[in-house]
Structure formats: C-alpha cells, structure tokens
Structure 1
Amino acid sequence: MTSDVSGSCQCGRVTYRVSGQFEHFFLCYCSRCQKDTGSAHAANLFSTTAQLVWLSGDALIKTYRVPETRHQKSFCSECGAPVPMMQMDGELLVVPAGSLDQTITKTPDARIFHASRPAWADRLEQIHCFAEGPG
C-alpha cells in the first residue's frame, strides 16, 4: 500500500496523515497489547519509510511506556483513543489500524505472540499464527 491515509482519535481533536507504505500489519496478542486495548489483541501497521504529519491536536498526545520495556502507547489525552507513535528512536512508525479514517486494502500479515491469547479468542478467523513474535 503506497498512498496517503488519514486518521483521528475518538473525539476528533487529534488528526494526522501518513504518506507512504506500511511494510507490516500485525495483530499482537501479547499481554501488554491486551491491556492497551482491553481486547484480545492490538491491530497495528508498521513502517520504516512512511511519513507522519500531525494535522491537529498533537499537543494533546500523551505517551505511556511500560517501565523497563520497549512497550509504549500514544493516545489522545482527551478521549484516550490510541494514535500513531514513533518507536526505535524515530526509525519505526506504528499506526493503530483502528485510528485510520479510511478503509485500507492491506490485510494482517500474522498474529504475533499468539501463545498469550486469551482462551476466548480461539475461534477468531484463521490467519497465519506465531507462538511468539516473528523472527
């Protein structure tokens, strides 16, 4: 997928545009993503080349990092909805798929940390699964 896509938080105060290609789309079942989302998994798009531009509300963005880990989540401080974030010292853009305002054609590449899934998630649609993160 190479194009411009836009997104926003739940209250609409934070808006953004991403220009470029997403290399990966993972459904992550790790326990931290379960806590982030209150669900079985997080659905995130990843890019090392796409450009993120904040259109509004960037001053409302807060980021929480789990102490002594690489795990972090950026969110709108007004509504709590997840928003994109840069990780790995700005080398990796992570975009919560649900924050996009358009439908994208890219489908998930894999379920990662699948061994950590809750038992109630066992009957979800079948896509390639990894017991842990991809190599």
Structure 2
Amino acid sequence: MTDHSGSCLCGTVTFEVKGEFDSFYLCHCQHCQKDTGSAHAANLFSHSARLVWLSGADAVTSFTLPGTRHNRSFCQVCGSALPNTQVAGLLVVPAGCLDTDIAMLPTAHIFSSSKAVWEERLGEVPAFAGLPE
C-alpha cells in the first residue's frame, strides 16, 4: 500500500491518502482550464484509497458547477485545490497538492479537443530553472 501526504499552499490544511491511485488524468476541458487558471488540471483518481484530514478540515470547502459533474474542493484561506469526494465512491486528488512524489505517469490526456490554442506549441518555448532575469 502506498501512502501520500499533502497540504494547501498556506499550510492550514494537511492530509494523507492511504492506498493506491487507479488513474492520473490531465484534463483539458474548459471547466478545468477555468478552475486551475492553466492549460489543464492534473488529477489522480482512486476508488479504494482513503482520505484522512490531519488538520484544517474545517477550512475545506467544495464547489460544484450547477448542471454538471464538475466539482472541486479548496482551502478557504488560500484557495489551493484539495482532494474531494464529491462523487460517491471516488477520491479525486489534484496532483499539485501532494507533498510526496507520484510514481505513476499520467494515464492519459482527456478532453484534448478543448486544449488551449497556446498549448499546441509549448515545446518551442524557452525553459528556465528559475525566474528569468
């Protein structure tokens, strides 16, 4: 059994995930673009892992976009994305909130037909190890 730990940006919320992840999707749908402010969301999914809040559970809130299954949980203090169990029997963990390494590669890109136009040529963009001067 693999366990993972994670937290929000401000450290108010900490948690553990006990168990294995089934899949790791990079979602390019427009809902995920809006709620991450980026090209895609990176979420891990599990039907068997258990989420344990270690601190700040009272600072976790959730939002479901009306008329959809799109939902997210986040810290009320700093806004960081956090694990959610809004779909019965399914744990969804944003990869970026984990403090431990993820051994698995993403399973797939999903909703790739909605990719941001600017994402198509990212391989041509310069890369810097830190903030460029």
Q: What TM-score results when the alignment is normalised by the length of structure 1?
A: 0.88
1:112 is aligned with what amino acid?
I
* 1:33-64 deviation per Cα after TM superposition (whole angstroms, max 9, x unaligned): 00110000000000000010000000001101
Structure 1 CA distance for aligned equivalents of residues 122 and 86 of structure 2: 29
SS at match of 2:100: coil
Match of 2:109 among 105, 108, 111: 111
1:92-126: per-residue Cα shift (whole Å, max 9, x none)? Answer: 0000000000111111010000000111111357x
Gaps of 5+ in 1: 126-135
Q: Comparing both structures, which one devotes a greater share of its residues to strand?
A: 1
* Uncovered stretches (5+) of structure 2, i.e. residues with no partner: 124-133
Pairwise CA distance, 1:88: 2.1
Aligned to 2:76: 77
Distance 1:55 1:30 in 2: 31
Aligned to 1:133: none
Superposition pairs of residues 1-135 of structure 1, within 5 angstroms? 2-89=1-88, 91-124=89-122
